[in-house]
Amino acid sequence: MRGCRHGELPQVVSPVQPTEEVQQRPGEPLLTLHNGRKRYGSVVALDGVDLTIRANRVLALVGDNGAGKSTLVKGLAGTGPMDAGEITMPGRAVTIRTPAEAAALGIETVYQDLALCDNLSVVANLYLGRELRRPRPWRLLARARMQAQAGEVIRDLAVHLPDLDRPVAALSGWGSRIVLLDEPTAALGVEQTAMVHRLVRRLRDRGLGVVLISHNLSDVFAVADEIAVLRLGRNAGTFRPGKDSVDAVVAAITGGNVVPGASLA
């Protein structure tokens, strides 16, 4: 990581090299799940799910309520281990039974190192290159406003940082490779949602694999490189924004046919 100054966009050295790990090239698998299974009593929440999380890519996970999205993420985060399934990370099979095991593998459900510039605070990183300023003539940084707004976003992401003004380098947790976000924008307004999108792209550009659960297909098409659909606990297709239509994704979510123009209100 490198130091930056306010008002300066970092020249991203991507992907940044975690010291002790071999960095995967963009698009290469960071984690592969095969045949993931999970039951809650008689409810089959995951029924043979496959998933590949790739370096330098945002994978959106979509599906109707109860499709199994959160169950899948909890399985990979170690907060709700799966009953079965083979998980592979570069070169080896792994097990994820606890959040500590997930963290040791570089999987973060919430994350401490949100940023690229480790000498700046989390707030400064969120606003890098687009700092809020007070009205003329002085154009001073509107620190309080930035801090308040960033604080809201971070709270909604369930990231609990001890001090938003501490430089990112002082926070632990460097070495994450995968970030799992379950509905980070569900309760956010337009501006805050845009902020989360920027954050997601920044994490991706740093070489991480980002998994983003969202019900909002506009969000998903705006930020995802790949879209995996779950339906009733099973894979229901993978799609690419720019190549596949929203209608096709909606059809996969609902199990219906593609009805052009009938998707987004």
User: Furthest-apart CA pair in the chain: how many Å?
Assistant: 66
For residue 66, state whether it binds ligand ATP (rule: CB under 6 A): yes
- 125 and 116 Cβ atoms separated by less than 8 Å: yes
Residues between 17 and 56 with contacts to ligand ATP, criterion CB under 6 A:
40, 43, 45
Using the contact rule CB under 6 A, the part of the chain among 59-67, 97-105, 200-208, 219-227 near ligand ATP is 59-67
Using the contact rule CB under 6 A, the part of the chain among 68-76, 108-116, 157-165, 200-208 near ligand ATP is 68-76
**What is the size of the binding site for ligand ATP (CB under 6 A)?**
11
Q: Please identify, using beta-carbon distances, which residue of 63 and 106 lies nearer to ligand ATP.
A: 63
Among 32, 70, 119, 263, binds Mg ion (CB under 5 A): 70
Q: Phi and psi at residue 108, in whole multiples of 5°?
A: -120, 130
Give the shortest CB-83-to-ligand ATP separation in angstroms: 12
Contacted entry of Mg ion, ligand ATP, none for residue 45, CB cut-off 5 to 8 Å set by kind: ligand ATP
Using the contact rule CB under 6 A, the part of the chain among 6-14, 62-70, 149-157, 252-260 near ligand ATP is 62-70
Q: Which residues bind Mg ion (CB under 5 A)?
A: 69-70
Q: Which residues bind ligand ATP (CB under 6 A)?
A: 40, 43, 45, 63, 65-71
